[in-house]
Amino acid sequence: MAPDVLTTALAPGDEPLLRPLPLGVSELLDRLGAPLRLVAHLRLVHDVAAQLVEWVERECPELVVDGEAVLFGAATHDIGKTLHPEELTGPGSRHEERGRELLRAHGVPDSLARFAGTHAAWGSVSVGVEDLLVSLADKVWKGKRVPDLEDRVVAELCAASGREAWEEFLRLDEFLTRVGDGAEARLALQAAYPANPIR
């Protein structure tokens, strides 16, 4: 029997062992008939975001981060792809604003719905550290490194800790390299799910 949305979102699964999506997010994805590949992607990015939040809390406790917001943002950042499933397998940005609108329409406050739009707009001056962490998780889950994004995260770490940029960079680089080592398994897991919408 093929897995359903809630099973994909909540089950412990095999390697890599992933944290389940928050129940409210899982139920919303189920109501929307989200493609299983999208559910798997959101779960993979959510898991990496949780590792990132834990790392920041441990390595730079001076940096004030709303970890719950980061986790919600990672779990929903691509939810607009339920409306634009073609962007699961090809390029496109229509899902970004549509995702924000979709979340708002389901009662999610803009303070959390914003991640659907900001996860690809990390270069904007107006994004906060939580937006940067969601964006970083959305890149590094597949082993992609984006120097300008990492520099922005390093700047946030430096501003909070008072340490030199080179020191914060080395610490972040070590962590991101370790996360990137699991990218092949994460990509294979995502690819194992169909991209077609469930209706």
Q: Is the pLDDT of residue 199 over 60?
A: no
∠ CA 126-128-133, rounded to 5°: 130
Taking only the tens place, the pLDDT of each residue in 25-57 is 999 999 999 999 999 999 999 999 999 999 999
Separation of alpha carbons 136 and 131, rounded Å: 9
CB 6, CB 33: distance < 8 Å? no
pLDDT tens-digit series, residues 89-111:
888 888 999 999 999 999 999 99
Domains delineated in the chain? 18-189 (1.10.3210)
pLDDT single digits (tens) 150-169 = 999 999 999 999 999 999 99
| Cα(35)–Cα(22) distance, integer angstroms | 17
Q: Which whole-number Å values give the CA distances from 11 to 99, 109, 112, 176, 182, in the listed order?
A: 24, 27, 24, 26, 19
Query: How crowded is residue 83: how many other Cβ atoms within 10 Å of its Cβ?
Result: 15
> What is the structure's pLDDT at 120?
84
Let me know: does 79 contact 119? Beta carbons within 8 Å: no
Closest by CA to 45, choosing from 126, 133, 117, 104, is 133
Model's pTM, two decimal places? 0.94
What whole-number distance in Å separates Cα of residue 104 and Cα of residue 7? 25
Higher pLDDT, 168 or 17: 168
Q: pLDDT tens across 177-197, in order? A: 999 999 999 999 999 888 887
- CB neighbours of 98 closer than 8 A, spacing ≥ 6? 80, 83, 84
pLDDT of residue 14: 60
pLDDT greater than 80 at residue 8: no
Query: How far from each other are the two terminal CA atoms of the chain, in whole angstroms?
Result: 17
Q: Is the pLDDT of residue 1 over 50?
A: no
